[in-house]
């Protein structure tokens, strides 16, 4: 029978790093999937997950066991992703002319008939990825958690460490930021 999380955590606290390796093996796929929402390059994704896991190892004494270990680990990972976004913040706006042929084609089709744009979801996904890249770190985090992962405001507050009110304010600003970005692309398209 495999030891459960509590046993592995207790063993890690006693200095058994092999137990921590077992915890890492169990949860790392989920952490990689989360990190890939915020970073593109493999090296960046690996750095984020590694940093989150090392933080978890050093802060393991602060884990009180009130919530599942997975939640605690996800919180550390989301905060590490946010730090990564803040460290790699870019201050430029995407324009229609910078879009790939597939993205421009998808927008053209959407402009003619929004119903027709359902095809080629990959182009739409690339387009939304490009727009997310232009948002501020807080806006990107909120849009990803709230709109793409469809988490509740309360869950986001727990993951980010922000208050519920702050999450609501940041969600409002993030939507406005995203709409501004879309407006810019649409305006460029018709100029």
Partner 1 sequence: MNLAELERRLLAAARLHQPSDHVPYGFEQRVRAHCSARPTLDRWAWWAGVLWRASAPCLAIVLFLSAWAWVAGAPNGANDSLDNDLEGAVYAVVDSTTESW
In whole angstroms, the minimum distance from the beta carbon of 58 to partner 1 comes to: 8
Is residue 19 within 8 A of residue 5, CB to CB? The reply is no
63 binds partner 1 (CB under 8 A): no
Residues 133, 69: Cα–Cα separation, whole Å: 31
The residue (of 75 and 175) whose beta carbon lies closer to partner 1 is 175
Which has the closest alpha carbon to 144: 153, 155, 132, 161? 132
The sign of the CA dihedral 71, 34, 151, 154 is positive
139 binds partner 1 (CB under 8 A): no
The residue (of 29 and 66) whose beta carbon lies closer to partner 1 is 29
Kindly indicate which of the ranges 35-43, 74-82, 89-97, 164-172 contains the residues binding partner 1, using the contact rule CB under 8 A.
Answer: 35-43
In whole angstroms, the minimum distance from the beta carbon of 181 to partner 1 comes to: 10
**Residue 2 per-residue DSSP state:** -
150 binds partner 1 (CB under 8 A): yes
In whole angstroms, the minimum distance from the beta carbon of 175 to partner 1 comes to: 8
Q: At CB < 8 A and 24+ separation, what contacts does 144-148 make?
A: 144/37, 144/38, 145/78, 146/171, 146/174, 148/37
In whole angstroms, the minimum distance from the beta carbon of 33 to partner 1 comes to: 4
Q: Which of residues 148, 164, 165, 176 is near partner 1 by CB under 8 A? A: 148
53 binds partner 1 (CB under 8 A): yes
Count CB atoms within 10 A of the CB of residue 71: 13
With b for 16 or more beta-carbon neighbours within 10 A and e for fewer, the 166-175 pattern comes to bbbebbeebe
Kindly indicate which of the ranges 71-79, 111-119, 134-142, 155-163 contains the residues binding partner 1, using the contact rule CB under 8 A.
Answer: 111-119
With b for 16 or more beta-carbon neighbours within 10 A and e for fewer, the 90-117 pattern comes to eeeebebeebeeebbebbebbeeeeeeb
Site residues, partner 1 (CB under 8 A)? 17-18, 20-21, 24-25, 28-30, 32-34, 36-37, 42, 46, 49-50, 53-54, 57, 110-111, 114, 117-118, 121, 124-125, 127-129, 131-132, 143, 147-148, 150, 175, 178-179, 182-183, 186, 189
């Amino acid at each position: 029978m495999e030891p459960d999380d509590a046993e592995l955590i207790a063993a890690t606290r006693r200095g058994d790093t092999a137990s921590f390796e077992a915890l890492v093996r169990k949860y790392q796929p989920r952490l990689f999937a989360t990190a890939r929402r915020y970073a593109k390059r493999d090296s960046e994704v690996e750095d984020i997950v590694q940093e989150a896991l090392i933080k978890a190892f050093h802060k393991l004494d602060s884990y009180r066991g009130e919530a599942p270990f997975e939640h605690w680990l996800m919180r550390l990972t989301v905060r590490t992703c946010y730090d990564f976004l803040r460290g790699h913040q870019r201050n430029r706006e995407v324009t229609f002319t910078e879009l790939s042929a597939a993205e421009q084609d998808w927008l053209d089709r959407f402009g003619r008939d929004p119903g027709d744009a359902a095809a080629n979801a990959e182009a739409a996904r690339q387009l939304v990825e490009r727009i997310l890249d232009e948002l501020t770190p807080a806006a990107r985090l909120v849009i990803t958690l709230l709109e793409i992962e469809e988490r509740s405001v309360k869950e986001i507050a727990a993951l980010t460490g922000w208050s519920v009110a702050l999450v609501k304010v940041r969600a409002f600003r993030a939507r406005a930021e995203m709409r501004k970005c879309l407006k810019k692309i649409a305006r460029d398209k018709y100029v």
